[in-house]
């Protein structure tokens, strides 16, 4: 039985454009794959450990092929459980609002724990290699405006997710942009409606 893991990164629930579009994606996916398991992980409601000194030192011990201390071993077991949970899925859906030119800090926290040597990527003198291979994902990006590089600033929302997921091996990534959601009173609904055809297309094809 296949599994889709939905990583929900907005705390606004039904007021979130990314969450509303994700809901429609999951409806279509469920209709096309009734035997699949769907799990939603809300990063705002999921307890995440601090990436503190023991986790950092445990990470470098792995890189240097050194044994863990008891504290490092316990920390690394926590990291491993989180990575194994992520790796248990065959498909991924990320619903991601734009926050301060990038992604919400709760999502960044989760990804900082997840992206670890020996778990989601490997390292050798020849370079890095992603370990999340043979899987598919879709990312939904909601934005208040369509600046996206216009003017004297850039947003790093899409670039960050694209690069980080590609780094761990998730190369097959469909993308849906929901924008602009905040430039006029009816912008939110217009942006959501405009995103639905591609949402349904990707949900049926994944």
Q: Where are the domains of the chain?
A: 3-205
Check pLDDT > 80 for residue 185: yes
CA atoms within 13 A on the CB side of 192: 19
| DSSP codes joined into one string, the chain | --EEEEEE--TTGGG-HHHHHHHHHHHHHHHH-TTSEEEEEETTTS------HHHHHHHHHHHTT-PPPHHHHHHHHHHHHHHHHHHT-SEEEEEEE-BTTB--HHHHHHHHHH--BTTTEEEETTEEEE---S-EEEEEEE-SS--TT-SS----HHHHHHHHHHHTT--EEEEEEE--SSSSTTHHHHHHHHHHHHHHHHHHH-
Task: Determine the average pLDDT of the residues in 194-199.
Answer: 98
Residue 9 banded pLDDT, cuts 50, 70, 90: very high
| Per-chain mean pLDDT for the chain | 95
Q: What is the mean pLDDT of residues 68-86?
A: 97
For residues 27 and 153, which has the higher predicted lDDT (pLDDT)?
Answer: 27
Residue with tokens 């769907």: 38
119 phi, psi to nearest 5 deg: -110, -55
* Ramachandran bin of 189, using left for φ above 0, alpha for ψ from -120 to 50, beta for the remaining angles: alpha
Model pLDDT, residue 152: 60
* The dihedral sign for the CA sequence 37, 42, 86, 99: positive
Question: What pTM was estimated for this model as a whole?
Answer: 0.94
Are 135 and 172 in contact by the 8 Å Cβ rule? The answer is: yes
Q: pLDDT, tens digit, for every residue of 80-139?
A: 999 999 999 999 999 999 999 999 999 999 999 999 999 999 988 889 999 999 999 999
The β-bridge relationship of strands 121-124 and 127-130 is: antiparallel
* Angle separating helix axes 17-32 and 187-205, nearest 10 degrees: 30
Report the distance separating Cα 59 and Cα 155, nearest Å: 29
Residue 149's pLDDT is 53
User: Is it true that domain 3-205 has CATH number 3.40.50.300?
Assistant: no
Contact 142, 10 (CB under 8 A): yes
Per-residue model confidence as pLDDT tens digits over 132-173: 999 999 999 999 987 655 556 677 999 999 999 999 999 999
Give the per-residue pLDDT at 151.
58
């Amino acid at each position: 039985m296949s599994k889709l893991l939905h990583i929900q990164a907005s705390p606004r629930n039904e007021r979130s454009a990314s969450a509303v579009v994700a809901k429609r994606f999951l409806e279509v996916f469920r209709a096309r794959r009734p035997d699949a398991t769907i799990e939603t992980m809300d990063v705002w409601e999921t307890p995440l450990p601090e990436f503190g000194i023991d986790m950092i030192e445990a990470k470098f011990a792995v890189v240097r092929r050194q044994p863990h201390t008891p504290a490092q071993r316990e920390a690394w077991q926590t990291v491993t459980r989180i990575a194994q949970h992520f790796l248990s899925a065959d498909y991924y859906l990320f619903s991601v609002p734009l926050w301060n030119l990038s992604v919400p800090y709760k999502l960044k926290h989760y990804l900082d724990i997840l992206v670890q040597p020996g778990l989601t990527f490997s390292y050798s003198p020849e370079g890095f290699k992603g370990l999340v291979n043979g899987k598919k994902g879709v990312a939904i990006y909601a934005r208040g405006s369509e600046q996206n590089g216009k003017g004297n600033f850039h947003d790093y929302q899409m670039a960050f997710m694209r690069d980080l997921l590609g780094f761990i091996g998730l190369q097959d990534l469909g993308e849906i942009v929901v924008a602009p959601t905040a430039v006029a009173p009816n912008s939110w609904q217009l942006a959501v409606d405009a995103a639905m055809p591609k949402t349904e297309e990707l949900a049926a094809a994944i």
